[in-house]
Structure 1
Amino acid sequence: MADPGVAAALARGSFGLTRLHVPYMIDAWDFFKAYQKGCAWQHLESISLTSALLAPYSSNDKISELLCTASEVALGMPKLQSFAL
């Protein structure tokens, strides 16, 4: 997967999109960590991402943290209809 800086740049540059599908291109964790409270993807309806943290060898704590962070970020996507992780 790409450098975490690529995911952060994509997070900052994607606010006007209606769809964002980049599985295996960036890590969802890096994308979510770039999120700043108060920011919103006002038009985003669909997103799909992947994360190395969802591998069988990952700890349950890390997976839970990823999912909780994903749910926080999803609150900044008011038109979201589909979220695949």
Structure 2
Amino acid sequence: MDDHDLVRYLTRCIETDNHAYAYVLDRFGGEALLDSQLPMLDMVESLARDWQAMDPADERYVGLTHALRVITQAYSRPLVEG
């Protein structure tokens, strides 16, 4: 999987998680999400958007690419290859 596919995959995973949180919020109310990972998901999604807009010549590009690959491994679905 190339880097662009990886970031698209990560974004889809985050979107799926956000839908699940929306369901929980709707069904059980806001207190059910007090200890949720929503802030972390928002930050990862922000990094993915930054990466998509970043010039590959930017000195941070390689490090951010690596970080997004590591984060994607947390989803540990067969589509992702290390």
TM range (shorter): 0.3 to 0.5
Structure possessing the higher relative contact order (Cα contacts under 8 Å, 6 or more residues apart):
2
Point out the structure with the larger helix share. 2
Give the TM-score, by structure 1 length. Answer: 0.33
Name the larger-Rg structure.
2
Point out the structure with the larger strand share. 1
Give the TM-score, by structure 2 length. Answer: 0.34
